Amino acid sequence: MTPTSTETGAKALDGKHAVVTGGARGIGAAVTRTLLSHGARVTITGRAADPPADTIRALKQCGEVEYAIADVTDADAMKLAFENAIARSGPISILVNNAGQGASAPFLKTDAKLWRRLMAVNLDGTYHCSQAALPSMLAAGWGRIVNIASIAGLRGYEYVSAYCASKHAVVGLTRSLAMEFVSKGVTVNAVCPGYTETDMVTNAVANIRAKTGRTADEAMTDLLARNPQKRLIQPAEVANAVAWLCLPGSEAITGQAIVIAGGEVM
């Protein structure tokens, strides 16, 4: 009988190199921590020259982590960052396209600059990074791409047309890539959280307060009104779903948009 990984002390993602974009904050940091707990080496990418030191220090206590400065909207910068990550930590087995931005405005006040900014980060960034990571996966005959989308990628919401459009596009790209690489050992899925306890929600509450004069509690109640559980999703809940899609036993799951939103979308 072949010993299990638990019996040998090995972890399920030992030997796997994961890249997590925007991996130093919020959902990205939770995903990084969870992948490390399963044995992966992780390269975090981010725009900040000075990422949160406490977070990076804590992550390094969990496993092998490197931080690369690169903006997902810059194709050349991301290509170089991925090449350096491969040279340092080996071929990329897992890509988590987490970097994203949100903004709200009535559609007629959504100018081209706002529209283009959200498309550049949320959609173009996913495109650039997937192109940079896929050659490693195809060469190995194994790979996992998980795109952090949103329930706004599955339904419409007022006052966030640019964000909804960008996340719908990410879900569409997910499904297309899943079909294209279904026979190559590479799965591509999206995880679609509802409002999650991150800086993005903090900023959304501040925006509601500034525009309506409501209190922080009233603004939060508005955000959670559609969630049957009436609570924020926790980053660790999203991270657990991401890890599940990368772990053994998920090989048949591809092209899916998995909702983590307390029953808001069924």
- Residue 134's pLDDT is 98
Q: Provide the whole-model pTM.
A: 0.92
Higher pLDDT, 93 or 199: 93
Adjacency order of strands within the sheet including 17-21: 65-69, 41-46, 17-21, 94-97, 143-148, 186-193, 257-260
- Residue 1's pLDDT is 41
Q: Mean pLDDT over residues 207-220, rounded?
A: 81
Decide if pLDDT at 2 tops 60: no
Band of pLDDT at residue 136, cut at 50, 70 and 90: very high
Catalytically annotated residues: 163
CATH architecture of 14-194+234-258: 3-Layer(aba) Sandwich (3.40)
- Residue 141's pLDDT is 98
Which of these, 129, 120, 246, 131, lies nearest to 180 by C-alpha position?
A: 131
Cα separation, 80 vs 89, whole angstroms: 14
**Residues of the chain with pLDDT > 70: what percent?**
97
Least confident of 60-69, 94-103, 179-188, 217-226: 217-226
For the chain, give every residue range classified as CATH 3.40.50.720. Answer: 14-194+234-258
Higher pLDDT, 53 or 38: 38
Q: What angle do CA 14, 16, 18 make, to 5 degrees?
A: 130
Contacts of 7 (CB under 8 A, 6+ apart): none
